[in-house]
Structure 1
Amino acid sequence: MNAWLNWTSWLPGAIVLSSLLPGALIFLIAEEDCNRRTLLNMTGAILTLLMVGVLIWGVFFGAVFETRLTIAPGLDLILHADALSMLFVTLSSVLWLVTTIYAIGYLEHSPNRSRFFGFFSICVSATVGIALAGNLLTFVIFYEILTLATYPLVAHRGTPDATRGAKIYLAYTVAGGVALLIGAVWLRSLTGPVDFVERGVLSGMPAELHPQLIGIFLLLLLGLGVKAALVPLHGWLPQSMVAPAPVSSLLHAVAVVKAGAFGIVRVVYDVYGVEFASQLGLLTLLGVAASVTIIYGSVMALTQDGLKKRLAYSTVSQVSYIALGASILGPIATIGGMVHLVHQGIMKITLFFCAGNYAETLGVHKVSEMDGVGRRMPWTTLAFTVGALGMIGIPPIAGFVSKWYLGLGAVEAGAHWVLLVLAASTLLNAGYFLPILYKAWFRPPPESWPHEHAFESRFETRGALLWPPVFTAALCLIAGLLAAAPFSPLEWATLIARREYGS
């Protein structure tokens, strides 16, 4: 029994360290020592995934995993595993492994790879820390580490555009971090330590404190909304597309934007409690912000010729489905928002992997350059097609499941206006994805591509670039087809809804 208790007390901390320690060691590796760097990358990613697998099994059957470190009286760093953290930490660990393989292939002949993979691992460690944070203090610390660790990745290429994009990213996220810190300190001054607790910790607060709690929520939403790319706090995201494709994939599918959306979910459900937040009128505010962002991002995506920028504005829109689910009072909408945390990640990383393949293999960076690309790169384009159709919400791909539950949740809550938002978003999604698919599959290819690279591969591009998007596209299909299976994202989202609504 003691051995098991010790095991459950150090496993969450070990998961964070399993990516942090390899990252620290990678900085020390000589640039030309590819084998050792790859070994550290892959060892850390696989070890993390194995430990997360143990964590999933234990949490599903009721075990309590918590690492607690007291840094000062009343200040505890807490890493705690629950159903919500399992969704995010599983997504992070699976996609970290896939992105590591992709990045090794993508950056095969690039300079400064040790620096890149060092910060890459620290970024993932911070994301895992956010996922497992058991209180607001721990969340804020890892949230700020993520900001600083991601900056060198955005600036990696060192070009004027990369430096400018990184500075814009840092300005937005540091300002957001300040707002988040002020809100967290203000809240702690009212309540003491703020642990993440089922159904929230604030519902019993006296009425005279409600105006302050509303102000605190606005600060927290401001701080989290920057990374979640809520309009008008989204300006950094399209500018960060100057980063290499593995970084774009990480930003949009796993780390930064997902950390902001996850933080909003934590604040609504585990700090305020969804019913208390509704009483304060905060869910209406969040729903309006999410809806405006969903429509705005989709409209802006229609106007972008740059493929990565079109995908960036798609992210602005799609990530806000998570916040929209949190803003609708009812368990079914909660399921839709929570499952989209995972579904959006696997669909969007597929699309960015494919965009990177087009750029790296053919020099194709724009939608206008994609005529006939499906004939030259059929597997990549098939993966892109799955991801795009999933974003539109075509069954049986994962995105359909998210939209279905959000729509049912809106009907359950009597929020029929949400159906209009979902319908408009779906039409706009089709408007900016279907023309790409038509050009890729049905238009004749050009006589020559903008900048075609000849790789020593029997496939359409290097295997390390091809198989990650094929794998994640398969996950998009599996998550939709087997949504009702045990341990599926939908199953975990259902557990979260039951926990938050006591049913």
Structure 2
Amino acid sequence: MIPGSVVSPSLIPVVLLLTSLVPALVIFGLKEEQRRLRTALNLAGAIAKAAIVVVLIPIVVSGEKLRSSFEWIPGLEIVFVTDTFSLFFVALSSGLWLVTTVYAIGYLEGAPNRSRFFGFFSLCVTATTGIALAQNLFTFLIFFELLTLVTYPLVAHRGTPEATRGARTYLGYTLVGGVVLLLGVAWLTLEVGPVEFVSGGVPAVAALAARDPATATAIGALLLTGVGVKAALFPLHGWLPVAMVAPAPVSALLHAVAVVKAGAFGIIRVVEDTFGFQLFADLGLLAVLAVVASITIVYGSLRALTQDDLKKRLAYSTVSQVAYIALGAALLAPMATAGAIVHMVNQGFMKITLFFCAGLFAEELKIHRISELSGVGRRMPLTATAFTIAALGMIGLPPFAGFISKWALGVGALDAGEPWVIAVLLTSTILNAGYFLPVIIAMWTEPAATAASAERAPRLTQPGDHARRLEAPAALLVPTLITAAAVVGLGVAAGWEFSPWSLARFIADGAWL
């Protein structure tokens, strides 16, 4: 919470939820052939949410918070607030939801069960918005669990045995994580009463830790484990690679907008807005989080190196990259906190671009494996360029967005007196280069795939067809190019007013004050 901020009663936080909830409920009732109305509802909701966020940013940054609260049962309130951190996350989800909606409309053209898909798609964004705007642990818990339930049908959308298995694995992991989170929230509420998030930590939680540190530590561990499942921290990450059986728009949503980001957001809420950095460190939990995040960073990268399936390589890359956010939250330095916060945006745009590209390779060239990507740069030069930009950003090269994140985390580690973190970041960078650079080189410099892969990629290997360009339709290509351009813009324009990096610094400085 920023000193001197003004809290104003308002229905605006509820309206932000309704911009995706109302389209979802209407879309469920549409017939499959009502394509234009379904598209109009999807786009109208996404545009409305993004527009409201743009209007709110300068208002909230100036120190005004908009609050909506409703008593659900005696003693427990549903509370939504647009503080700087919550609006930051809503801005990320609304912006990426808009481009993913356009992509999904093109990707699923002619596919069955589109009304069901887009209904749950919008409910997924509603749940993510609710998580972001939640001002207390009870509200956060409700929408965190809702996200699990509405995402399951998206993972299982294709209805194949593989999709069903992947969805059940996802559901199993996340439901167990939800139960652990519920235990933590219930126990903490029993000890101190309803908990509203406070920047720097809730005083009642600090009082609990002072009189009963063992209980406070146990509760903190439960909360961290509960949100850590969705954040895919090792060893709780097993659901993420398996869930890659979902369609490309769903994979993009899982990795860049919704589930893993909800987990990362939850880690920061628990560490910074429930316990406070210093108290979490005093209880020994911050050191545990730092070690787990570091192991996850290296482990995810090592597993990515061994994957030939493109989406699984990207999935293990997400396991590694999202752990940067947890690592930044575990370091006692404002710069590290800012690095964790800005990486939510930077990783989101980089990873959604990569999954968009993976979807285009699969749709246009029937390519799903890295070993089949040779020469793709000459076949799909715009898509391959977008992939290259996002991959270089993931490695952390300037001037791309990923460089800003790694630089901030490195400086924050030194400020916190934890130089060993630099070794983790360097190791991760080398491994990132190891699993991305060979792909880029193969796409641009090697000849097209040979007949050995003809069965899997027939369109790429027909006689006389190896040099013909085959870019995707505009509905698929334009969102991909927009997010790729953002990867560059987020790095080049990091110092601009209201840029994600400037807002992340603002949020972190307010937290440490």
Corresponding residue for residue 107 of structure 1: 108
Post-superposition Cα deviations, 1:246-282, rounded to whole Å, max 9, x if no partner, equal: 0000000000000001000000000001111111111
**SS in structure 2 of the partner of residue 414 of structure 1:** coil
1:485 to 496, 500, 507: 496
Alpha-carbon deviation of 1:444?
Answer: 0.7
Alpha-carbon deviation of 1:206?
Answer: 5.0
Q: Which runs of 5+ in 1 are unaligned?
A: none
Corresponding residue for residue 22 of structure 1: 23
Structure 1 contact 246–353 (Cα < 8 Å) conserved: yes
Post-superposition Cα deviations, 1:285-340, rounded to whole Å, max 9, x if no partner, equal: 00001000000000000000000000000000000000000000010111111110
Q: Is 1:289 the counterpart of 2:300 in the alignment?
A: no
**SS in structure 2 of the partner of residue 64 of structure 1:** strand
Measured in 2, the distance between the counterparts of 1:238 and 1:175 equals 18
Measured in 1, the distance between the counterparts of 2:440 and 2:7 equals 53
Matches within 5 A, 1:74-93: 74-93=75-94
Q: Is 1:9 the counterpart of 2:16 in the alignment?
A: no
**SS in structure 2 of the partner of residue 32 of structure 1:** coil
2:424 to 410, 421, 424: 421
Matches within 5 A, 1:454-493: 460-493=471-504
Structure 2 contact 46–94 (Cα < 8 Å) conserved: yes
**SS in structure 2 of the partner of residue 70 of structure 1:** strand
Measured in 2, the distance between the counterparts of 1:274 and 1:127 equals 24
Matches within 5 A, 1:131-170: 131-170=132-171
Post-superposition Cα deviations, 1:349-378, rounded to whole Å, max 9, x if no partner, equal: 000000000000100000000000010000
Alpha-carbon deviation of 1:61?
Answer: 1.6
Corresponding residue for residue 226 of structure 1: 229
Structure 1 contact 484–490 (Cα < 8 Å) conserved: yes
Q: Is 1:500 the counterpart of 2:511 in the alignment?
A: yes
Whichever residue aligns with residue 106 of structure 2, its letter is G
Structure 2 contact 364–470 (Cα < 8 Å) conserved: no
TM-score by length of 1: 0.96
Matches within 5 A, 1:444-459: 444-446=447-449, 450-452=457-459
Corresponding residue for residue 195 of structure 2: 194
Q: Matched residues, percent identical? A: 58
Whichever residue aligns with residue 462 of structure 1, its letter is P
Structure 2 contact 248–358 (Cα < 8 Å) conserved: yes
Q: Is 1:122 the counterpart of 2:123 in the alignment?
A: yes
Q: CA 1:340/1:380 → structure 2, altered by over 3 Å: closer, same or farther?
A: same
Post-superposition Cα deviations, 1:411-441, rounded to whole Å, max 9, x if no partner, equal: 1111011001000000000000001001100
Q: Which moved more, 1:81-90 or 1:344-353?
A: 81-90
Matches within 5 A, 1:76-475: 76-201=77-202, 202-205=205-208, 207-446=210-449, 450-452=457-459, 460-475=471-486
Alpha-carbon deviation of 1:57?
Answer: 2.2
Structure 1 contact 49–93 (Cα < 8 Å) conserved: yes
Post-superposition Cα deviations, 1:190-238, rounded to whole Å, max 9, x if no partner, equal: 1111001110102233533211111011111111111000011000000
Measured in 1, the distance between the counterparts of 2:369 and 2:291 equals 32
Whichever residue aligns with residue 227 of structure 2, its letter is L
Whichever residue aligns with residue 57 of structure 1, its letter is P
Whichever residue aligns with residue 502 of structure 2, its letter is E
Measured in 1, the distance between the counterparts of 2:449 and 2:436 equals 21
Structure 2 contact 8–67 (Cα < 8 Å) conserved: no
Measured in 2, the distance between the counterparts of 1:184 and 1:209 equals 17
Corresponding residue for residue 3 of structure 2: none
**SS in structure 1 of the partner of residue 479 of structure 2:** helix
Structure 2 contact 117–157 (Cα < 8 Å) conserved: yes
**SS in structure 1 of the partner of residue 459 of structure 2:** coil
Q: CA 1:189/1:451 → structure 2, altered by over 3 Å: closer, same or farther?
A: farther
**SS in structure 2 of the partner of residue 444 of structure 1:** coil
Whichever residue aligns with residue 71 of structure 2, its letter is T
Corresponding residue for residue 70 of structure 2: 69
Alpha-carbon deviation of 1:459?
Answer: 6.7
Q: CA 1:206/1:388 → structure 2, altered by over 3 Å: closer, same or farther?
A: closer
Q: CA 1:469/1:206 → structure 2, altered by over 3 Å: closer, same or farther?
A: closer
Structure 2 contact 334–412 (Cα < 8 Å) conserved: yes
Alpha-carbon deviation of 1:64?
Answer: 1.6
Alpha-carbon deviation of 1:109?
Answer: 1.2
Measured in 2, the distance between the counterparts of 1:360 and 1:393 equals 29
Structure 1 contact 296–317 (Cα < 8 Å) conserved: yes
Whichever residue aligns with residue 133 of structure 1, its letter is A
TM-score by length of 2: 0.95
Structure 1 contact 92–127 (Cα < 8 Å) conserved: yes
Alpha-carbon deviation of 1:7?
Answer: 8.4
Post-superposition Cα deviations, 1:365-422, rounded to whole Å, max 9, x if no partner, equal: 0000000001000000100001000000000000000000100011111101100100
Whichever residue aligns with residue 491 of structure 2, its letter is G
Structure 2 contact 12–66 (Cα < 8 Å) conserved: yes
Alpha-carbon deviation of 1:145?
Answer: 0.5
Measured in 1, the distance between the counterparts of 2:230 and 2:47 equals 27
Q: Which runs of 5+ in 2 are unaligned?
A: 1-5
Post-superposition Cα deviations, 1:83-107, rounded to whole Å, max 9, x if no partner, equal: 1112211000000000000000000
Measured in 2, the distance between the counterparts of 1:207 and 1:276 equals 10
Whichever residue aligns with residue 266 of structure 2, its letter is G
Alpha-carbon deviation of 1:451?
Answer: 4.3
Q: Which moved more, 1:79-88 or 1:376-385?
A: 79-88
Alpha-carbon deviation of 1:81?
Answer: 1.1
Structure 2 contact 271–329 (Cα < 8 Å) conserved: yes
**SS in structure 2 of the partner of residue 76 of structure 1:** strand
Whichever residue aligns with residue 134 of structure 1, its letter is Q
Structure 1 contact 364–451 (Cα < 8 Å) conserved: no
**SS in structure 2 of the partner of residue 430 of structure 1:** helix
Measured in 1, the distance between the counterparts of 2:272 and 2:373 equals 43
Q: CA 1:501/1:441 → structure 2, altered by over 3 Å: closer, same or farther?
A: same
Q: CA 1:319/1:479 → structure 2, altered by over 3 Å: closer, same or farther?
A: same
Measured in 2, the distance between the counterparts of 1:288 and 1:206 equals 22
Structure 1 contact 105–464 (Cα < 8 Å) conserved: yes
